[in-house]
Structure 1
């Protein structure tokens, strides 16, 4: 393979990764091994998207949850790898659906190779994840992950139907991000607990922790879309507005703004594009919608932290707590 686990483009360990540094290195090696294919383009595109600078939070959740519950086997490496493959396949498909040209500061795979190869390599990664799922040999893990894949797909379709629809309310927004984003976080921490033979209460706590963490991350992503910058975020400010996506900053601005302000945002969502970006940003600022979105993210982070009380004290639990705090403190 042309790229190895020590590539400068590989996910760089952070202090949160430190307690599972050896496991994380093993996951990186497993990812590269599992990308092996007799079709060179599969490896090329797979490596490109997987090694494009992501934090690999979902596989990290598997490792931390399993270790926090005293798992001492090896199957958590395979589980973390397949979770990353599932996530990467959704990124490839999402970028095609959204007609995106940049992700994490780099050209998207569909921009570099075209839509058809991106979709098909996404299918390969998705299929490979199910091969690894069988290898783990746990019917409970398969049950959780197979259900999660359906929920994720439904969330993506729901988001697509919301595009250009200014009548999307906060409840519909949360239902969408629960499916398209939080579900895989939830499945990662939940299945990590299952591997460790956790108690039912601990299983439920780990599922809830992942769910709230995923919601917090998505809320901050949607907030940063209106206050970040292309260099730090790897995408352009206002990308969601350009695509006509009614995220929480816009939904809240319409809910509390004046009729004129709501009308402006409704028109911008229906039309898409960035023609009214400056005016929309002014309304979001005037209505305190970013503060409201951050408050919701902080609520989700606090809920995630509360679920950790069901785990025994350990450095792994401490890292999970730091991850919940990072979710709302990050700038990218």
Structure 2
């Protein structure tokens, strides 16, 4: 899983963490019936009550599993994100899952997997939860949450982490997604966090939300692999740019080696990199890794 969130507030209610009736457990049998179809991408689906990290668990078994394995946790105790950040949230307050993918595409196009997952999650959740979602490059999901003064502001409600599953390229890639669904205002770990509930989602039932995300992911992954990973040919590059809240904004890119770059985010290139028009007049630079800070709203 992934998030910049490092901790969470105390859960409301009795000490029994399973007693919150607003947060019913996921139904593994129902999810399997809906998602595991002959000829489909998803080949297995397991739901565990708690684990350290679904990414780590799935990666450890990748060599023995076929493509399309899905592992879902009701609670993660050591969820990981980019730059070794930690994801932590109350039990059953969100969707915390990982999938095993083994794409046969050119290696230089694998950088599109987390971006593809973002497009799939945003489009699936927009339909199932009725919320407007946007993408912050490279791996965050944003929603609009109304503040106490009535102003709506962007908040991070989820994140994505893609990792190689093992030492061999044949082991595949594990893609994890963590999404805040019913997190309440008093449970937010940081002021910049949000949830689908706080964004006035029409539904926070996690079963249909998970189905919607996985079906959308299957759709986009099928298009992308059929196009040999070409993001332009399958429409992925255009779809990501259309939903990306980073484009058109002044940003600060905090890059490896303690270097920073400020300018306007103007495009997503064919390699999935963020193209920044440097504020110092140094032209355009493509950013492939680093933290991006939005400095002003898009026009």
Name the TM-score, length of structure 2 as normaliser: 0.28
Question: Greater strand share, 1 or 2?
Answer: 2
User: How does the TM-score come out when normalised to structure 1?
Assistant: 0.26
Report which of the two has the higher share of helix. Answer: 1
